[in-house]
Structure 1
Amino acid sequence: MQSPSKTQSQPTPLQPNTSMFNQPIAVWAIAFASIIAFMGLGLVDPILPSIAKKLHASSSDVTLLFTSYNAVMAVAMLITGVISSRLGAKWTLVLGVVIIAVFAALGGNSNSITALVLLRGGWGLGNALFVATALAAIVSLSRTGVAKSIILFETAVGLGISVGPLLGGELGSISWRGPFFGVAILMLLAFILLIVLMPSPKANKSARKTSLADPFRALKHRALRTFGIAAFLYNFGFFTLLVYAALVLGHLGLDEHGLGFVFLGWGLLLAITSVFMAPKLQKRFGTLTSMCLMLFLFALTLFVMAQWTTDKTVVICMVILAGAFLGNNNTLITTAVMNAAPVERSTASAAYSFLRFIGGAIAPYLAGKLAEWFNPHVPFTVGGVCVMLSVIYLWANRKHLKHVDEAEGH
């Protein structure tokens, strides 16, 4: 396999045209299942204040629901390749949705914050199997190449994240347990889609069995390692926004319905920009410059929230606006990772996601603790600083990342 850094073809922009929709039925099955899977993430967000109240937990206790979820996801990413190369993409995806459904249903039946935190960890295992395999499967089965396949995947992610909070707010207004049971039911639907529409497992089995060491070997490639470390840093900002901002708005009087609509707006902007704006930015400014610009603007929204933490209107506006910057960045960095190193894309995804979700595991709990140790403004400030550090780190390593804009032929 030729190294991407030596590819001589011309840069290929991310072109969002109708050809993106020219996909086999298997790709659509995975995309619809991805929407449902990512609805599960957003479903829980509006009920965080309610869980804290009903289970007599502190804000930092509730953030552990995301910490355990992301920590297990980070570690599980290292074994997704081992499992998928032996089971095949179809059965790995099916196994992932079954695990999510089981642990979500058990979470809905739990009566303590400790049990709920542990069960969210099991949910994270299922999500790791699904997410890492879904992205690689869509790319490998697609007719339209890496760039447009990733746009399709990010569209599914954005739709799931945007609709999830709205549904979670509606179900959460009935009971905090509702969204957990809602996830279990949605995963059953995903299970049916994958069983019926995915091709036979034999068609998806990898010719080479992946080993546990492969993701670590992949991180020896500087470009992939650089994107992973940058994602580790900006996920401090991402999950501060997703988790801590929801708790802040809950304390400012926003109920489950209100939180659902706020994060609906956030998710819609994330979905729209990932499809329509990211390609234009990449074409005009290049991947790295566009990423740095989006992350810089995202950091500014966190700093604004740090300054006006007690102003509900400002926090709501900044949360929604941040969706635009994150949507652009998600598509840009995911595409860059797929072309960052001369390794299998599933291995690259696993190695990158391992570093990314470590940041996602630390950030929510740290944000809750910083608010307890200091004041409610500090978590947003720390999140903004970490995002700015990711910008500086990417720019400092820009000479090692020039090849990510090159064509995806290899």
Structure 2
Amino acid sequence: MLRQPVTVWAIAFACAVSFMGIGLVDPILPAISAELDASPSQTMLLFTSYLFVTGAAMFFTSWVSSRIGVKRTLIAGLVLVVVFAALAGASGSVDAIIGFRAGWGLGNALFISTALAAIVGAASGGSRQAIVLYEAALGVGLAAGPLVGGALGSISWRGPFFGTAALMGIALIAILALLRQPRNAPAPAKVSILAGFRALRTPALLALALVALFYNFGFFVLLAYSPYPMEAAAARHGLEFGAHELGLVFFGWGLALAITSVLVAPVLTRRLGLRPVLFSMLGGLTVCLVLLGVFVENLTGLVVVVIVSGLLLGVMNTALTEAVMEATDLPRNVASSTYSGVRFMGGAVAPAVAGPIAEALGAGAPYWVGAVSVLVSMLVLGVAGRTLAHIGRSHESAAGEAEAIAAGDA
């Protein structure tokens, strides 16, 4: 996996920085609430506006990239992220930050959906190695985001936004300098503006997109809501649990996610098959959400379960992305953008409803709702068994796969 063209590493670095934007605000949500006199429900909308616009735009990114090309789409996305991250840092109200996070989400959509297809197309070693590399970048970004957010957020809540703008500026320069279009490369096939929606007519993609929708609801309940119970639990024991401490917790969570996405997921999917791994990880995440609901007033319990959940989420993300890439014969950019669009919608809903649910039903209620949502994703995966039968078989060993490729070439 390490023997990749420099172009792949440039895109992977930019991916890592891009995914930092998801977890970056996690440690500073309580600080933003205090500094800007906003409720937890309002500040969690920083996730919702970002993820909703990201998800909605994903349906059209394949159309955009087919018109202006992969490199220009990547650059446009990076420029938007740099601009809107800087504007969010300069904002004076939570409503302004919510709005600028929406613009940030648009840039993120243009970049992420195109980056996955670009890495798969440019990487050596086949699509599976490329997907692992992409998920590794995702894990590194999710791990580094809270750490950077906590470190800079302990100085000022504005710091993480300006820090992201600077890092994305570096990624932009790297893409401009290192991404080379092959000479005499054929023009990209034109994609209909409705291609993303039409892709959902494919039963296998629709099934996996729905699995991702309900799974991501539970994922972002855990990610966006957990800082508030942690802070409250610490306060009950007279402890200060600010941006730095939250950053360390979610760094541990993201590091666990990155490790299993790279080192564990490929082994499990090769030996057990994709569908058994998906079922196992979804079941484990359900248990984690239930435990978070039980330990909602226990700081140690919350911290331990959140970090352990990262081990499951790393495997789940890699296996689910690989399943999407294998499930259909659709163009990679269409399949990945459509799947990601539905997936991010689940993430957008979770922060918007977690706050009101907690206010109405108690601090543990969002975790219970998240657990039910993950159970629904397991139900969808089970009902779609025949549709997904072709991805449910155990993968071959690396040697057997190489022999099959050699035989096909012969």
Give the TM-score category using the shorter length: over 0.9
Tell me the C-alpha RMSD between the 2 structures: 1.6
Tell me what 2:383 maps to.
396
Number of residue equivalences: 391
Tell me what 2:238 maps to.
none
2:346 aligned to which of 349, 355, 359: 359
What one-letter code is carried by the residue in structure 2 that aligns with 1:167? V
Tell me what 2:331 maps to.
344
In 1: Cα distance, 2:222 partner to 2:186 partner: 38
What one-letter code is carried by the residue in structure 2 that aligns with 1:226? A
Tell me what 1:157 maps to.
138
Deviations 1:289-330 (A, max 9, x none): 101100110110000011110101101011100101100000
User: Does residue 1:216 correspond to 2:197, yes or no?
Assistant: yes
User: Does residue 1:301 correspond to 2:282, yes or no?
Assistant: no
Residue 22 of structure 2 contacts residue 47 of structure 2 at CA under 8 Å; is this kept in 1? no
In 2: Cα distance, 1:148 partner to 1:243 partner: 30
In 2: Cα distance, 1:103 partner to 1:137 partner: 24
Residue 69 of structure 2 contacts residue 188 of structure 2 at CA under 8 Å; is this kept in 1? no
Residue 84 of structure 1 contacts residue 205 of structure 1 at CA under 8 Å; is this kept in 2? no
> Where do 5+ consecutive residues of structure 2 fail to align?
235-240, 396-400
User: Does residue 1:99 correspond to 2:83, yes or no?
Assistant: no
Residue 143 of structure 2 contacts residue 255 of structure 2 at CA under 8 Å; is this kept in 1? yes
1:46 aligned to which of 17, 23, 27: 27
What one-letter code is carried by the residue in structure 2 that aligns with 1:240? V
What one-letter code is carried by the residue in structure 2 that aligns with 1:65? L
Q: 1:206 to 1:241 in 2, by over 3 A?
A: farther
In 2: Cα distance, 1:373 partner to 1:205 partner: 57
In 1: Cα distance, 2:14 partner to 2:341 partner: 22
1:351 shift after superposition: 1.1
Tell me what 1:71 maps to.
52
Q: 1:25 to 1:399 in 2, by over 3 A?
A: same
Tell me what 1:7 maps to.
none
Residue 286 of structure 2 contacts residue 371 of structure 2 at CA under 8 Å; is this kept in 1? yes
User: Does residue 1:330 correspond to 2:317, yes or no?
Assistant: yes
> Where do 5+ consecutive residues of structure 1 fail to align?
1-19
In 2: Cα distance, 1:405 partner to 1:208 partner: 31
1:217 shift after superposition: 1.6
Deviations 1:62-106 (A, max 9, x none): 111011111101110011111111221111111111100100000
Tell me what 2:61 maps to.
80
Q: Calculate the TM-score normalised by the size of structure 2.
A: 0.92
What one-letter code is carried by the residue in structure 1 that aligns with 2:202? H
Tell me what 1:57 maps to.
38
In 1: Cα distance, 2:185 partner to 2:34 partner: 46
Judge which range, 215-224 or 179-188, deviates more: 215-224
In 2: Cα distance, 1:238 partner to 1:287 partner: 19
Aligned to 1:111, what secondary structure does the other structure show?
Answer: coil
Aligned to 2:346, what secondary structure does the other structure show?
Answer: helix
Q: 1:117 to 1:299 in 2, by over 3 A?
A: same
Tell me what 1:381 maps to.
368
1:249 aligned to which of 196, 214, 230: 230
What one-letter code is carried by the residue in structure 1 that aligns with 2:243? E
Identity %: 47
Q: Calculate the TM-score normalised by the size of structure 1.
A: 0.92
What one-letter code is carried by the residue in structure 2 that aligns with 1:52? S
What one-letter code is carried by the residue in structure 2 that aligns with 1:182? G
Tell me what 1:89 maps to.
70
Deviations 1:92-144 (A, max 9, x none): 11111110010000001111111111110000000001100110000011121
Residue 276 of structure 2 contacts residue 392 of structure 2 at CA under 8 Å; is this kept in 1? no
Tell me what 2:109 maps to.
128
Deviations 1:138-192 (A, max 9, x none): 0011121111100001011111111121111010000000000001000110011
In 1: Cα distance, 2:204 partner to 2:96 partner: 39
Residue 37 of structure 1 contacts residue 127 of structure 1 at CA under 8 Å; is this kept in 2? yes
Tell me what 2:266 maps to.
279
Name the structure, 1 or 2, with higher relative contact order (CA <8 Å, separation 6+).
1
Aligned to 2:124, what secondary structure does the other structure show?
Answer: coil
Judge which range, 148-157 or 397-406, deviates more: 397-406
1:35 shift after superposition: 1.3
